[in-house]
Structure 1
């Protein structure tokens, strides 16, 4: 961490040809001047350096550090398509005390990173943005997100939105979805013409909450830019009181990067399958999450489809292996999940009491963190309905 600056003027030397970056840095109140060049200029007295990866190769940062041994230096990664390269860049920058800035950040997010390092100002803009991610395909991210949204909508009068930012899965098959999709509003996102009314019109009302389904266009899976996704989240925050983001299980794209930056609460969903917590996730964490400054404690762990069998890993061991706080385990509901999808209904409506209680624990944690008010008419008496709408006593065993 750089020492807090207490001088009367502050100059940043920006090695970049991005006029937008200069404008963003110039907006920082404490900064007197941003000098933009395409290479190092030793004639300029500066208090910090910002290196744009589009002009400066990460292999050259050691020479820049040698020229400027004490000033804070930032390095913004650019078009890094290889996970190993991302890890290498972060390692090199760390070795020379250079702060890495991930490439999927937009102007005001870069500003916040710079403020945090230079002036010890920490920002937390997420407030009511919550992200759900999974360690592997089939871990239950969409199912959990939608059912938490349904329970939240029951408990609070706040407007709840489920925003599907999974470019690989629209997650529209759980309900009778009639709204637009992420790819349908791509032009509005690119031109920054999405409005609160347009977003509202694009959603579907489901059991009291709203949903915007994800991308259906295979050709667009990796072509949502950071600026587009940030524009969508910004409008969503203005339109709705609570935004639950379904990020899916892919982490190497702008949709996830923006979700990570903008969300205050981050839930990681896994199962007791080793391919998730021991196979896929460690690679993701070490190669993608850590290089952007992420830590395991950033996430709250949800174990889905939980079975208390001796032959599989326990809750305690799984939490210790991932080094995360374990919030709750959601029981395996057998074929009820398949039946719910077939009926275009949410699992919460036909699930066991244990499932509903687990989902309620998640929604309660969100309400506490986001400071949401409980509806005065909310009935917390826990009863469950069976598949055909009959009410069963709470002591009934799980339907198989």
Structure 2
């Protein structure tokens, strides 16, 4: 095996050199000129080319990425260690170029040891980290019609489950590829997310550690991980079924509970695969005829039933509930599925605040969200019960609508 390392950081170079096996021929360069000379000499023999982005600090990515791709053979796998200091527009452009050129990425905002671990896993450990005998549970949230509030409900349910399952790792997947809004809902501004691992998913080489490092987290909820979605919506239909299958396999091997937020329309691999593979399918619906009758029934009759799914394979969360008993009856009759949670409408602009200020409704302890929080807890309790998990009370229950209602209350929430 022959590897070329182009690294700007001397400490990182030393750390990586310590993990290179003796039988591997490793070449090192420390600037663009040295790299070009070495690649020209070894171009057809290289198995891996590992480049630190900072090597090309005075070059445009659309120039140097294409150049190094053209200098090596098709068999050479290129890995780029990202720079820390870049703006979001630049990073988005960079990610898109790498995706087109099949270049994989390593997050730059890592310690030297983290980067060494990434290289060690991707280059020197070819065995998969996925244990097929260990699989977390997948729950997919889908809106009956666009803007029925599935993303809001998925985010709040993820937070609730993570807080009340302290021994479990929970992942929120934003696979609503045509309308990826989790990043905006939570005001996430990092370079992490699905674009960082998309090439790994496409090649079927995603490692568990790589997935973990591509996730963001909410302060104070250490067991909740969030993988934000695509930043370019036109890529949604380019994502393959195999790519999503691989991501879900690795995610379920890495996390105890996975929640996927997907788009309403089943015209993309992410929606189809997440719904088909789910252990639980929650359809977020409103008491609006275009939601529970027109849109949903059209898609169910034309798509979902042909995948072998029955109406009873879906369960409903009635969002923005107006407490009209006949609404629930009519919705269940029309959709053929049972309502497992009725989620109240939030007054006084709390819903807009949740989006505009990155404050998830479930973490808003104002009076107007008390009923909403209780409704989300009911839904979380139902999901936990189906997974044979028991929710625990949390410290701030006394500050919310759950005052004085401890474990016994939680058990009563689980049908």
TM-score interval w.r.t. the shorter chain? 0.5 to 0.7
Distance in 1 (CA, whole Å) between partners of 2:379 and 2:339 is 11
1:169 to 179, 184, 191: 179
What secondary structure, in the 3-state scheme, does the structure 2 residue paired with 1:303 have? strand
1:203 aligned residue: 215
2:27 aligned residue: none
Q: Deviations over 1:101-139 (max 9, x none)?
A: xxxxxxxxxxxxxxxxxxxxxxx9976111111111110
Distance in 2 (CA, whole Å) between partners of 1:268 and 1:212 is 21
Give the superposition deviation at 1:210.
1.0
Give the superposition deviation at 1:292.
1.2
- Is it true that 1:181 corresponds to 2:193 in the alignment? yes
Distance in 1 (CA, whole Å) between partners of 2:246 and 2:275 is 15
- Is it true that 1:383 corresponds to 2:415 in the alignment? no
2:334 aligned residue: 321
Asked whether the equivalents of residues 134 and 270 of structure 1 are also in contact (C-alpha less than 8 Å), the reply is yes
What secondary structure, in the 3-state scheme, does the structure 1 residue paired with 2:331 have? helix
Q: What value does the CA root-mean-square deviation take over the aligned residues? A: 2.5
Distance in 1 (CA, whole Å) between partners of 2:350 and 2:164 is 24
Give the superposition deviation at 1:245.
0.6
- Is it true that 1:137 corresponds to 2:146 in the alignment? yes
- Is it true that 1:352 corresponds to 2:364 in the alignment? no
Distance in 2 (CA, whole Å) between partners of 1:361 and 1:393 is 16
Give the superposition deviation at 1:230.
0.5
Distance in 1 (CA, whole Å) between partners of 2:388 and 2:226 is 22
Q: Indicate how the Cα distance of structure 1 residues 264 and 346 shifts in structure 2: closer, same or farther if over 3 A, else same.
A: same
- Is it true that 1:193 corresponds to 2:193 in the alignment? no
What secondary structure, in the 3-state scheme, does the structure 1 residue paired with 2:261 have? strand
Asked whether the equivalents of residues 126 and 262 of structure 1 are also in contact (C-alpha less than 8 Å), the reply is no
- Is it true that 1:338 corresponds to 2:352 in the alignment? yes
Structure 1: tracts of 5 or more residues without a match: 1-123, 386-390, 395-400
Q: Deviations over 1:304-361 (max 9, x none)?
A: 0111359xx6112211211111111101103211012222111112252211111001
1:154 aligned residue: 163
Distance in 1 (CA, whole Å) between partners of 2:388 and 2:191 is 29
Asked whether the equivalents of residues 179 and 213 of structure 1 are also in contact (C-alpha less than 8 Å), the reply is no
TM-score under structure 2 length normalisation: 0.59
What secondary structure, in the 3-state scheme, does the structure 1 residue paired with 2:237 have? coil
Asked whether the equivalents of residues 144 and 283 of structure 2 are also in contact (C-alpha less than 8 Å), the reply is yes
1:6 aligned residue: none
Q: Indicate how the Cα distance of structure 1 residues 163 and 278 shifts in structure 2: closer, same or farther if over 3 A, else same.
A: same
TM-score under structure 1 length normalisation: 0.61
Distance in 1 (CA, whole Å) between partners of 2:324 and 2:279 is 34
2:287 aligned residue: 272
Q: Deviations over 1:4-41 (max 9, x none)?
A: xxxxxxxxxxxxxxxxxxxxxxxxxxxxxxxxxxxxxx
Distance in 2 (CA, whole Å) between partners of 1:346 and 1:249 is 22
Asked whether the equivalents of residues 136 and 255 of structure 2 are also in contact (C-alpha less than 8 Å), the reply is no
Give the superposition deviation at 1:173.
0.8
What secondary structure, in the 3-state scheme, does the structure 2 residue paired with 1:345 have? coil
Asked whether the equivalents of residues 271 and 305 of structure 1 are also in contact (C-alpha less than 8 Å), the reply is yes
Distance in 2 (CA, whole Å) between partners of 1:378 and 1:308 is 28
2:245 aligned residue: 230
Count of residues in Structure 1 that have an aligned counterpart in Structure 2: 263
- Is it true that 1:292 corresponds to 2:307 in the alignment? yes
Structure 2: tracts of 5 or more residues without a match: 1-132, 406-415
Asked whether the equivalents of residues 135 and 253 of structure 2 are also in contact (C-alpha less than 8 Å), the reply is no
1:245 aligned residue: 260
What secondary structure, in the 3-state scheme, does the structure 2 residue paired with 1:193 have? coil
Distance in 1 (CA, whole Å) between partners of 2:142 and 2:261 is 7
Asked whether the equivalents of residues 179 and 233 of structure 2 are also in contact (C-alpha less than 8 Å), the reply is no
2:82 aligned residue: none
Distance in 2 (CA, whole Å) between partners of 1:265 and 1:382 is 30
Give the superposition deviation at 1:370.
1.5
